[in-house]
């Protein structure tokens, strides 16, 4: 393998981008973070965020960024849309190598070190994936906002804001949860909330999820989190009917939702070995070998 190459693992979602920079052997040199690079928010925006994150990582490592010496392993939200993926590849800088997979695949590589297992990625969006003994990857969920991505931040936020709507017109009491949601949106009456709702995207809804978790003892929030746990269980069951594979909950909501996953799955839950950016680093390493061959 070319020893002048740098390997870069990218984890790109709807809330942010994480970068893991490694040398040609995959030894980590630096980490960095930047804005969202999920393809649903625009391909140009995705490359801007990736470029900013890579520039920061190289600066932290004290090395000059030269795209021609970089092999990127990208795990991105939205690659299941063929048009977005094609546009993303078309707008790539002149890199030495580029491998692009779903962020759930790189999450799977990172969480179980490439060994068989299940992950449920719970961030702005959600998707589950399983790697079997033959290295084959299968997925469950991940149909996207607003109709899919069960148990994700956007899914929770989209449902949580209903409580604030109903509090504003008297259908439910105007309690602490309603006030916290309204304070976050900056809305103080029906009209101002409607303005927020009309402008809100999946990232905006996902930012409401921490409020739900902070009010987990509230009956409405507790019911919502319980439903999220049930949805996580359904994804696990769909991918591993044998009920034998280890399961890692990943992403920003992985830890907060763990206690809500049904009891029958609890004994199989494991802490992820590494994150999606480091799974991307594994992907970049494979791509570097492929390019060299």
224-254: pLDDT as tens digits: 999 999 999 999 999 999 899 999 999 899 9
Q: Are strands 126-131 and 117-122 parallel, antiparallel or unpaired?
A: antiparallel
Mean pLDDT of the chain: 94
Task: Measure the CA–CA gap between 269 and 252, rounded to whole angstroms.
Answer: 16
Give per-residue pLDDT as tens, 121-137: 899 899 999 998 887 88
Residue 14: which pLDDT band, with cuts at 50, 70 and 90? confident
Given a cut of 90, is residue 80 above it in pLDDT?
A: no
Higher pLDDT, 97 or 291: 97
110-124 tens-digit pLDDT: 999 889 999 998 998
Sign of the Cα torsion 257, 260, 265, 266 reads positive
pLDDT tens column, 19-56: 999 999 889 999 999 999 999 889 999 999 999 999 99
Residue length, the chain? 293
- Is the pLDDT at 144 greater than 80? The verdict is yes
Token reading at 228: 């999220």
> Are the C-beta atoms of residues 177 and 220 closer than 8 Å to each other?
yes
- Going along the chain from its start, the domains and CATH numbers come out as 6-113+274-292 (3.30.420.40), 153-270 (3.30.420.40)
Confidence band of 13 (pLDDT split at 50, 70, 90): confident
Q: What's the CA gap between 213 and 183, in Å, rounded? A: 16
Q: What are phi and psi of 155, to 5 degrees?
A: -60, -45
DSSP secondary structure of 104-132? HHHHHHHHHTTSSEEEEEESSSEEEEEE-
Confidence of residue 2 (pLDDT cuts 50, 70, 90): low
State the pTM of this model.
0.78
Structure tokens at 277: 């950016």
Q: Which of 106, 101, 208 is nearest to 164 (CA)?
A: 208
Q: What is the per-residue burial (b if ≥16 Cβ within 10 Å, else e) of 246-265?
A: ebbbbbbbbebbbebbeeeb
Q: Tens digit of pLDDT for each residue in 151-205?
A: 999 999 999 999 999 999 999 999 999 999 999 999 999 999 999 999 999 999 9
């Amino acid at each position: 393998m070319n020893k002048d190459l740098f390997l870069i693992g990218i984890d790109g979602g709807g809330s942010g981008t994480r970068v893991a920079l490694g040398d040609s052997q995959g030894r980590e040199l630096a980490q960095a973070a930047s804005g969202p690079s999920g393809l649903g928010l625009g391909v140009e925006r995705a490359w801007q965020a990736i470029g900013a994150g890579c520039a920061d990582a190289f600066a932290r490592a004290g090395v000059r960024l030269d795209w021609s010496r970089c092999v990127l392993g990208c795990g991105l939200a939205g690659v299941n849309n063929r048009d977005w993926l094609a546009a993303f590849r078309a707008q790539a800088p002149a890199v030495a190598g580029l491998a692009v997979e779903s962020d759930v695949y790189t999450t799977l590589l990172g969480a179980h070190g490439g060994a068989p297992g299940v992950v449920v990625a719970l961030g702005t969006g959600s998707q589950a994936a399983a790697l079997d003994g033959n290295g084959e990857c299968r997925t469950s969920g991940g149909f996207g906002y607003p109709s899919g991505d069960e148990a994700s931040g956007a899914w929770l936020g989209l449902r949580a804001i209903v409580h604030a709507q109903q509090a504003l017109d008297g259908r439910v009491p105007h309690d602490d949860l309603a006030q916290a949601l309204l304070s976050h949106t900056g809305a103080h009456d029906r009209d101002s909330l409607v303005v927020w709702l009309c402008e809100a995207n999946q990232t905006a809804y996902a930012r409401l999820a921490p409020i739900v978790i902070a009010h987990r003892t509230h009956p409405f929030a507790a019911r919502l989190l319980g439903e999220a746990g049930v949805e996580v269980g359904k994804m696990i069951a769909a991918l591993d009917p044998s009920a034998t594979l280890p399961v890692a909950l990943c992403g920003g909501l992985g830890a907060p939702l763990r206690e809500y996953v049904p009891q029958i799955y609890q004994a199989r839950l494991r802490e992820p070995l590494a994150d999606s950016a480091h799974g991307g680093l594994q992907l970049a390493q494979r791509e570097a070998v492929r390019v060299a061959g």
